[in-house]
Structure 1
Amino acid sequence: MNLNVLKKAFFCNSQLKSRTVFLILTGVTFLIRFPFFFRDYVDRDESTFILLGQSWVDGYLPYTQLWDLKPPLTFAFFASIIYVFGKSFIAIRLFGALLVAITAFYTYKIGTKITTNQISLWASLFCIVLLSLFGSLQGVMSEHICMAFFIPALYLIASKKGPVWLFTSGLLMGVVVMVKLNMAYPILLIGLFLCYEIFNRKNSIKPLEVLSFGTGIIVVVLLTILPYYINNQFQIWWDSVILASLEYTEARRFPIFKLAPTFILIGGFLYYCWKKGIISFKKRTSILLWVAIIGVLISFFKGGRVNGHYLIQVHPMLVILVAIMIHQLYHQSKRTIPKSFLFILLLIPVESYLEYVNVVKSKIARGTFFNGEGFSVPFYIKENHLDTENILFFGYHIGYWNLSELPPSLASTHPSNICREELYPFFNNPRRNSMEELQFLMEELRPKTVVVRKGRLVFDKLEIEENEYINAYLARYYKVEATVENAEILKRLEGL
């Protein structure tokens, strides 16, 4: 692909083949995300998903050997990659990049139904940026997985007719909800919109099509239940997927002032789009985008939380409207694009440039492109033959995977879950609260080796009692065996 093709793609309002667009978006995604293929972890959630994926490959259904608060198809994504490629960070990150490229491509496809190809391509390009940079988005998050199914499903609803296509869309939406349960809200609103269209004579959608859509969703949900039902473990699925999520939502709500900025900004933008005609309620695709965005915002409100990576669930729809708005404002101002614009664009993925440098430095210093404590700490432990029985990672817990070890308890699968005692009843934890869990880990299991993050609290600063206990216990019964990058490897004192 030469520069003329790229110039035609981004600066000329001309028709491009879908294959060409997909190759452009895949190439951009790969360039931005490639240096992170060699990082041990980007977000601790990703490490947890990998651990549960490995457990599934080893023959244990999610929530039985290890436990985390996500629907099962999140772990199925990682399990399928591990099953085929083994313990490969590159394979996981490569398929993560493919998820982003698919999401961006169907963002483009949706955009072409309400605006020009050029604007749609720019929207999809910035979709890649928003799904890959700024924070902990370079890894593979559950939001990346769900949007790679949600956006194609939305495109099918916007562009295809007939029961088969709506059933296919329903299957994709079923995957979405079994990856991110909160996406049930936008899916429900979309379903209600389809029901409304049955009675709207301007549209030709039939009841059978809506029924096919709902059937597709139900089929996927039932398929996730099936292995638990066969093994007489349906209650585990129900407790872990449904009841635990509801309890977590009620127990971990943000104060309203933390939620307000997101709702004010997005709500204000949607109102502006409506007033300026950017959202045309005469166009079915525009209505679907609006419905999807509102549904995601409702899910944020009901969940009581908005973290940075949650916004992945709204960016693909929102970025189309933003691109249309910028295009309108640009033409209204009648200005030419300054030459510095391209230079600014090239500066956006600065995180990727820095990571390329980090990868090269790692190769020069250590002889490997792979970098991070998730690699260096297990390497030190192996080289120095430290005891790994009941080893406990309070930080860098991807180290379990690289050591072929397991977290010592279900609650410690994700270190922060130790302090989420409201979830204990849903995986039948015999300990009643986080202090009892910590006492079990430290005083009964007595791990010979503990890994912590150097100079940082083990738990969130709000967990005062837990931090005081673990700090005092580690100071009394452990010594620092080694400091490896930003990790401290602690060794239990002899006879204690």
Structure 2
Amino acid sequence: MVIAKNFILKVLKKTNFFHLSNYESLNWRTVFWVLLLIALFIRFPFFFRDYVDRDESTFIIMGQSWANGYLPYTQLWDLKPPITFLFFGIAIKLFGQSFIAIRLLGTIMVALTALFTYGVATKMSSKKIAFWCAIFCVFFQSLFGSLQGVMSEHICIFFFMAGVYVLFSKKHWAWYFVIGILFGFSVMSKLNMAYAVLFLGLYLLWNGFSERKYSATLGKLSLMGAGFVLLILLTALPYYLQETTSVWWTSIFKAPLAYSESKQHSLLKTLPAILVILGLLVAGFASKVIDYKSKQQQLLAIMVIGVSFSFMQAGKVNGHYLIQLYPFMLILIGIAIGKLPQPKKALNWVIAGVLALIPTEAYLEYANIINHKVEKGSFYNGEGIDVPNYILNQNLETKNIFFTEYHIGYWILGVHPPTKAATHPSNITREELFPYMNNPRKTGLEELRYILEVIKPKTLVARKGKKIFDKKLMDYNEYIDSYLENHYALEYTVGRGLIYQRLE
């Protein structure tokens, strides 16, 4: 602890952290180290959690499969573009099976996203405003929900903000090719960012034509489009070399379309969040705290609208989706606040107190990992870790196992899900996706019966106090509850983890 404390103090002094009142003297290196230290402080206690969001577990499993030499969608399957899995695959290939490595790389990515946010903000505001926009960008990417893991939104917004920074800072035509590549990386991490790219491209086209810069505008957008398309085609290259291009096409493009058409989410559910977001924009422009004549601020507003439109298309707004909005919104809010009267010095202590309370989730998690270390001898915690360790210690069956919950356990045990459709447990019920993952079963219940009655897992893991499938899926739950009662016995309980053993 003393060594860590001395290291942090040395970095803070080296980066001139204690003299940040002179914001105009800030350089990128100083800002990066400050952002990284804050991100590391907030996110570090979650390095030892089994998972924060179940999607992260799926990404890790998919990444491991790629690191083992299997392209995404061939051995295992999930409804995300390949660059998300590539991030995890590279982390695993370089550092092995390490939660710390994955989440440290995620922390660095959060700090870099905030750094690009700082860079964009400096193009239209003071360094002071830009610095605090970046600080809050770290906060909002790391707190308030299941954001402490590494989500596809973290990956896509990192590439997108890098592209926006290049767009704001580089004027030579050639840079538009780089921008297109960065936007391609973003969309191939999370497809809904295509709406932001589309809205941005339409805005640039309209703006260029309104200034009668026809050839220059078309040339720049053509280069951006070429970079974008090139990146997408590069993700298809490994499949082309293995003569499985159809797998790439159906999994990345056709499957999401089929899913969006079949989803039951209502547009009305997104309206409250969308109305708040768009209401803030309208209020900002109407009150002139956001300059509606500024093309840079117009561009940020357009990207907010583009991402918001994608939420409306999805029919839902999960907490981690908002990561895709935070950088743009924070810059605009920062610009607006900068035009308001400055608070009196007496309020500085109140503001400092509020800032100190923001990472409350991190403080609680520090206490949690310390207590876990004292009680169980390890910082690593959560049933996703404890259950697999218990299975290993008790010499239970691992090769034929089915995790209906805590599916990060497949990774810890070094085994695969029983079927491709079971990579993420909820995918079993998404039968509209079965044709695109080349699954021979036609329905979710048929898939579940195949797993339980043909593969016959020797060990099955569930969660105490929770239905195995969504409560609305009564037929799924009735079937598996009945099957467990007749063919399995609950042998062990580890925390909330239930470990069943097959009777015959």
- Work out whether the TM-score is over 0.5: yes
1:248 to 231, 250, 259: 259
* Helix, strand or coil at the partner of 2:500: strand
Which residue pairs with 2:250 in the alignment?
239
Task: Report if aligned partners of 1:412, 1:418 keep a CA contact under 8 Å in 2.
Answer: yes
Which residue pairs with 1:72 in the alignment?
82
Q: Deviations over 1:446-474 (max 9, x none)?
A: 11100001111111111111111111111
* 2: CA distance, partners of 1:44 / 1:478: 25
Which residue pairs with 2:226 in the alignment?
215
Give me the CA root mean square deviation: 1.8
* 1: CA distance, partners of 2:19 / 2:211: 41
Superposition TM-score, scaled by structure 1 size: 0.96
Q: Deviations over 1:39-89 (max 9, x none)?
A: 111111100011111111111110010000001111011001111111111
* 1: CA distance, partners of 2:345 / 2:276: 27
Which residue pairs with 1:458 in the alignment?
468
* Helix, strand or coil at the partner of 1:392: strand
The answer to which of 196-205 and 347-356 deviates more is 196-205
Q: Deviations over 1:384-440 (max 9, x none)?
A: 111123200001000000100000001110001111111111112111111111111
Shift of the 284–158 alpha-carbon distance from structure 1 to 2, 3 Å rule, reads farther
Match for 1:487: what amino acid?
A: G
* TM-aligned CA deviation for residue 323 of structure 1: 2.0
Residue 324 (structure 2) pairs with residue 317 (structure 1): no
* 2: CA distance, partners of 1:405 / 1:318: 42
2:424 to 403, 414, 422: 414
Shift of the 320–44 alpha-carbon distance from structure 1 to 2, 3 Å rule, reads same
Which residue pairs with 1:18 in the alignment?
28
* Helix, strand or coil at the partner of 1:163: coil
* 2: CA distance, partners of 1:194 / 1:15: 33
* 1: CA distance, partners of 2:369 / 2:317: 32
Which residue pairs with 1:171 in the alignment?
181
* 1: CA distance, partners of 2:433 / 2:285: 42
Match for 1:168: what amino acid?
A: V
Task: Report if aligned partners of 1:49, 1:74 keep a CA contact under 8 Å in 2.
Answer: yes
Residue 190 (structure 2) pairs with residue 187 (structure 1): no
Residue 357 (structure 2) pairs with residue 347 (structure 1): yes
* TM-aligned CA deviation for residue 197 of structure 1: 3.6
Which residue pairs with 1:82 in the alignment?
92
Residue 282 (structure 2) pairs with residue 271 (structure 1): yes
Shift of the 335–362 alpha-carbon distance from structure 1 to 2, 3 Å rule, reads closer
Gaps of 5+ in 1: none
The answer to which of 461-470 and 48-57 deviates more is 461-470
Gaps of 5+ in 2: 1-11
Task: Report if aligned partners of 2:163, 2:182 keep a CA contact under 8 Å in 1.
Answer: yes
Which residue pairs with 2:376 in the alignment?
366
* TM-aligned CA deviation for residue 320 of structure 1: 1.1
Which residue pairs with 1:262 in the alignment?
273
* TM-aligned CA deviation for residue 194 of structure 1: 2.3
Task: Report if aligned partners of 1:376, 1:484 keep a CA contact under 8 Å in 2.
Answer: yes
Shift of the 12–402 alpha-carbon distance from structure 1 to 2, 3 Å rule, reads same
* 2: CA distance, partners of 1:407 / 1:236: 20
Task: Report if aligned partners of 1:391, 1:408 keep a CA contact under 8 Å in 2.
Answer: yes
Identity, % of aligned positions: 47
The answer to which of 346-355 and 360-369 deviates more is 360-369
* TM-aligned CA deviation for residue 120 of structure 1: 1.3
* 2: CA distance, partners of 1:182 / 1:130: 20
* TM-aligned CA deviation for residue 305 of structure 1: 2.1
Q: Deviations over 1:159-192 (max 9, x none)?
A: 2111221111111001011111111111011112
* TM-aligned CA deviation for residue 4 of structure 1: 10
Alignment of 1:88-487 (within 5 A): 88-201=98-211, 205-331=216-342, 336-487=346-497
* 2: CA distance, partners of 1:381 / 1:357: 27
Superposition TM-score, scaled by structure 2 size: 0.94
Q: Deviations over 1:219-272 (max 9, x none)?
A: 100000111112111111111100110111122242233111111100100001
* Helix, strand or coil at the partner of 1:490: strand
